[in-house]
Amino acid sequence: MLGVPERILFIFLDGVGLGEDDARTNPLVRAHLPVLRELLGGASLVRGGETRVRSGAPARLVAADAGLGVAGRPQSGTGQTSLLTGTNAPALLGRHFGPWVHTSQRALLTERNLLRRAADAGRHVAFANAYPRRYLESERASTRRPAAPPLAARSAGALIREETALRNGDAVASSLSNDAWREHVDPLAPLITAAEAGRNLARISLGAELTLFAHYDTDVVGHRGNLHAAVEVLERVDAFLGGVAASLDAATLLVIASDHGNIEDVTVGHTLNPTPLLAMGPARDRVADRVGDLTDIAPAILDLLDVRF
């Protein structure tokens, strides 16, 4: 698709790789994922799946290298830092590291992530995830084992959505439903389906030129090695993406990416598999055509925002 998007919605799914086409071990094959299949013209999120996407399908699929030339299994800390900054974080560190951002790379992430760069260039950015007010008012996000997305958002002044925002549908819980929030944070958070959460995210994205949303359950459940639980998480993600896709503005580019493989093989934990990059909407081919590994994604997004990398 041609043209330049008016805005970009970047959805990060933690721990999703392109694995074998085997329903015995790969929940991405076992699960019922009608939205993803429709977006990809019938193709599946498996190794080689990008070659099976039919011409004219709404989305493009690319297999992105997550190893980045460094031996060992990719991890969340360096993978997310690479994804959000366009820097080869494991090569810089000399190894893959996670699950949180390594102390030596926190300055890199806070100063060079795509939200910060876009904001510094005068673009309106948003981080759609909800966090408890007590977390936002503390320094924990940047000092004690921080995950990369909230650390990046804080550096860009975008870590601001809390209980009130979630109640009003102006934020999305990372787990997509509000069940955990109602139990542990705010009993007044409304009951919500994954599809409704997706519609809320699409609406939130209308208010910014670049919006980031991060989902972590895909990685969490991958570590448990339970095929049934992994299928449930993936089907919830699929319903969520259905809500997003059905409500997305035509001028919005949707980018979906991950940091390392995990959920696609419930027998091993983190994998050496490539990760999926999905792009749908205006300029999707400009993004897909330049992505070979995790470090290519942030520069591709910033280029569309006319932000110098």
Give CA separation, 201 vs 128, 136, 214, 223, 280, in Å. 7, 20, 11, 27, 16
Residue with tokens 């996407």: 53
**pTM of the prediction?**
0.97
Which tokens belong to 56? 């004219």
Handedness of CA 260, 261, 267, 268 (dihedral sign): negative
Q: How far apart are CA 30 and CA 234, in angstroms?
A: 10
Residue with tokens 């008012």: 137
Q: How far apart are CA 195 and CA 192, in angstroms?
A: 8
pLDDT of residue 2: 54
* Mean model confidence pLDDT for the chain: 95
Low-confidence ranges of the chain (pLDDT < 70): 1-2, 139-143
- 3-state class (DSSP) for residue 116: helix
The domain limits of the chain are: 7-304
Measured CA distances, 242 to 193, 218, 236 (Å): 11, 17, 10
pLDDT of residue 289: 96
Enter the tokens of residue 24. Answer: 């015995």
The pLDDT score that the predictor gives to residue 15 is: 98
For residue 267, give the DSSP letter: T
Question: Could you give the 3-state DSSP secondary structure of residue 63?
Answer: strand
Select from 3.40.50.410, 3.40.720.10, 3.40.50.150, 3.50.50.60 the CATH code of 7-304. Answer: 3.40.720.10
